[in-house]
Structure formats: structure tokens, C-alpha cells
């Protein structure tokens, strides 16, 4: 099972949603993201939010077309997206993909990136990705991972989220590394590229943000 979550970010940054829609996908909408899905002829199974970013007419349509609604007061400790992500993690899917979570307000963007860390800290091994038309972003804890070349995402960057990344090794990359220690704030691992169909990255301690991008 795959759970796709549509947040309320700018629609011009969205990829082609048809490429991410299949029979084993469950869609969840977040606030204005519910309206975005309905406009794309995708009916979400569940909706989350205070819905302060939609008009009365749009909210009426959402109520008519979405079977399960989780409505909250605007004054709350979690963002609407965090509530939706917490629900998605509880369903124990093999993959969670989040759309509409980049662009717009930069505080929302940084908060959304930080949301990727929480399940990892709780011992969850679910792959959670932020996806827009130009980027795929995800978090990894220590270990060894295979990474495949994507024709539309040429550049691969590794950004420390924890204070230190120990023994970072990159194999199959244009700029390889061998057991390097990388501190938070370092730009050493920005804009790398694979030189074959796949490569590997590994590290013994820390949390890395992996960003796959295209110009």
C-alpha cells in the first residue's frame, strides 16, 4: 500500500499526478490540497485540516465529495500536514509520498522537511518522500543504501540533519567519498551525480537529508 498526501502548496510546482495514481494508492488531502485533488479528478479517501484556506463554496464541495473528514480548530499544536502524516504512518504503508509541501511560505517548507525526521526517531522504517516537479526529498538514518539513476533527477545532494555524519562513503558517484565525517552546515555533498546506473551511500551515525533534483 502507498499513501499519497496532498498538501496545500502552489499547484504550479506539482508533478504530473497521474504518474503517482494507481490501484494500490490511497490519497489523503490536507486543507486546500483536498480542493487541488478534486480539481485533478482524484477523490481522496480522507481529508485533514481546519480548511481556513478554502472558500465556503469550495468547502461545501469538499464535504459533498469526501467521505471521511478530520476537521480541526485553527488553534492547535500540530500543522494540518503533521496530523495527516501521523495518520498515514499509523496505517503502516510501504511508502508515503507528500505533494504540495514545497514552495510558498518558507517556514512551512522547513517545517515540512522536519516532519520527515519524526517517524525515523520513533523507529519507523517507512520511506517518506516530499515530491514536486523538480525535487524528491527524503531522510535516511545510518546504514548502507542503494540509489538508482533517474533521468529526470540528475543531481543528488546529501545534507546533514544531525550535528555529525560519521563515516560517510559514496560509491558510484562523480565525487566519491570514503569514511568522511561531515558536520551540520557543510556543503561538501551538494550537487553530486551518479556515474553508472546506480551507486551506494553509507554512514555509521547521524541523519541525512537526501535531495534528488533537476534544473
The pLDDT tens digits of the residues spanning 128-171 come to 999 999 999 999 999 999 999 999 999 999 999 999 999 999 99
What's the confidence (pLDDT) of residue 15?
Answer: 96
Residue 74 has pLDDT above 90, yes or no: no
Q: Verify that 28 and 123 share a domain, yes or no.
A: yes
Of all residues in the chain, the percent with pLDDT exceeding 70 is 100
**What is the CATH classification number for the domain harbouring 149?**
3.40.50.10240
Q: Verify that 97 and 49 share a domain, yes or no.
A: yes
What's the confidence (pLDDT) of residue 52?
Answer: 87
Residue 73 has pLDDT above 90, yes or no: no
Mean pLDDT of the chain: 94
Q: Verify that 22 and 36 share a domain, yes or no.
A: yes
**Average pLDDT of the segment spanning 179-193:** 96
Q: Which of 165, 164, 111, 158 is nearest to 137 (CA)?
A: 158
Q: Verify that 18 and 124 share a domain, yes or no.
A: yes
- Could you give the residue ranges of the DSSP H alpha helices within 116-166? 117-121
Structural domain ending residue among the three candidates 133, 168, 191: 133
**Average pLDDT of the segment spanning 203-215:** 96
What's the confidence (pLDDT) of residue 199?
Answer: 97
Structural domain ending residue among the three candidates 133, 158, 181: 133
Q: Verify that 129 and 151 share a domain, yes or no.
A: no
DSSP of 26-92: EEEEETHHHHHHHHTT---SEEEE--TTS-HHHHHHHHHH-SEEEE--SS-SS-HHHHHHHHHHHT-
**Average pLDDT of the segment spanning 98-115:** 93
Structural domain ending residue among the three candidates 76, 110, 133: 133
Q: What's the first-to-final CA gap in the chain, in angstroms?
A: 31
What's the confidence (pLDDT) of residue 123?
Answer: 82
Instruction: Please state the domain count of the chain.
Output: 2
Q: Verify that 78 and 154 share a domain, yes or no.
A: no
Q: Of how many residues is the chain composed?
A: 215
At residue 213 the predicted structure's pLDDT band, cuts being 50, 70 and 90, is: very high
Is the pTM here over 0.85, yes or no? yes
**Average pLDDT of the segment spanning 21-46:** 95
Residue 9 has pLDDT above 90, yes or no: yes
Q: Verify that 105 and 169 share a domain, yes or no.
A: no
**Average pLDDT of the segment spanning 26-45:** 96
Q: Verify that 36 and 118 share a domain, yes or no.
A: yes
Domain that holds residue 53: 2-133
Query: Which range, of 35-49, 51-65, 146-160, 170-184, averages the lowest pLDDT?
Result: 51-65
Amino acid at each position: 500500500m502507498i499513501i499519497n498526501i496532498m498538501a496545500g502548496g502552489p499547484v504550479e510546482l506539482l508533478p504530473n499526478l497521474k504518474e503517482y495514481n494507481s490501484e494500490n494508492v490511497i490519497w489523503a488531502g490536507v486543507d486546500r490540497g483536498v480542493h487541488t485533488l478534486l480539481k485533478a479528478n482524484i477523490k481522496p479517501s480522507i481529508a485533514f485540516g481546519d480548511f481556513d484556506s478554502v472558500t465556503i463554496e469550495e468547502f461545501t464541495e469538499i464535504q459533498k465529495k469526501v467521505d471521511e473528514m478530520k476537521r480541526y480548530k485553527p488553534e492547535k499544536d500540530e500543522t494540518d500536514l503533521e496530523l495527516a502524516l501521523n495518520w498515514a504512518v499509523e496505517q503502516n504503508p510501504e511508502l508515503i509520498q507528500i505533494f504540495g509541501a514545497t514552495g510558498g511560505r518558507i517556514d512551512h517548507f522547513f517545517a515540512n522537511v522536519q516532519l520527515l525526521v519524526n517517524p525515523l526517531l520513533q523507529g519507523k522504517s517507512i520511506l517518506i518522500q516530499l515530491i514536486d516537479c523538480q525535487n524528491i526529498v527524503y531522510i535516511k538514518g545510518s546504514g548502507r543504501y542503494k540509489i538508482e539513476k533517474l533521468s529526470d533527477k540528475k543531481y543528488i545532494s546529501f545534507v546533514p540533519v544531525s550535528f555529525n555524519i560519521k563515516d560517510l562513503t559514496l560509491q558510484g558517484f562523480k565525487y566519491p567519498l570514503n569514511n568522511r565525517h561531515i558536520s551540520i552546515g557543510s556543503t561538501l555533498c551538494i550537487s553530486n551525480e551518479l556515474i553508472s546506473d546506480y551507486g551506494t551511500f553509507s554512514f555509521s551515525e547521524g541523519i541525512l537529508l537526501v535531495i534528488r533534483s533537476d534544473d
